[in-house]
Amino acid sequence: MINLNGMAHVVLTVSQFDLAKDFYFRLMPAMGLENVFESENFCYFVGARTAVGIQPCAPEHAQERFVQGRVGLHHICLRARARDDVDQVDALLREMGANIVVGASEGHWAPGYYYVLFEDPDGIRLEVNHVPGKGVLAPDAKFNPGDDF
């Protein structure tokens, strides 16, 4: 059996690189991800056993925004260690004036699921969640994606 240890990184391609840099430079450090590289065309944040990079899109796509239902990425979810961390992210997003799709609340995907769903300046959907215990891996738990997944 192959033994994975989580997701190493995700790199997002954005159309509004300067706005995205401002957004991620405020959000990532607050969540424990440190900027370890920044150039004219790439930023990379590392911490909490993962990394997030951002880069500008090709010029011919500069006016486009993220569309969740297209082929490719649906959303990214970062796991918080505690429910209070989700509340703190929600508060920071409100302070930043970010587009919050669903404010900090309970979800039906697993027992105790608590999350905030929001968008970056290009509309890329991100989520921060907390699931206590083993979540859907608990013996009596059932994964319930519902109609809104």
User: Quick one: pLDDT at residue 146?
Assistant: 64
Quick one: which H or E segment has residue 135? none
Q: Which residues pair with 34 in a beta bridge?
A: 46
Alpha helix ranges (H) inside the chain: 17-30, 83-96
The residues spanned by each domain of the chain are 10-137
pLDDT tens for the chain, 149 residues long, are 998 888 899 999 999 999 999 999 999 999 999 999 999 999 999 999 999 999 999 999 998 999 988 999 999 999 999 999 999 999 999 999 999 999 999 998 888 999 999 999 999 999 999 999 877 677 776 666 666 65
Measured between alpha carbons, how far is 132 from 146 in angstroms, rounded to an integer? 20
CATH class entry, domain 10-137? alpha beta
User: Quick one: pLDDT at residue 109?
Assistant: 85
User: Quick one: pLDDT at residue 54?
Assistant: 98
pTM, two decimals, is: 0.91
| Residue 79 neighbours by CB under 8 Å, 6+ apart | 128, 129, 130, 131
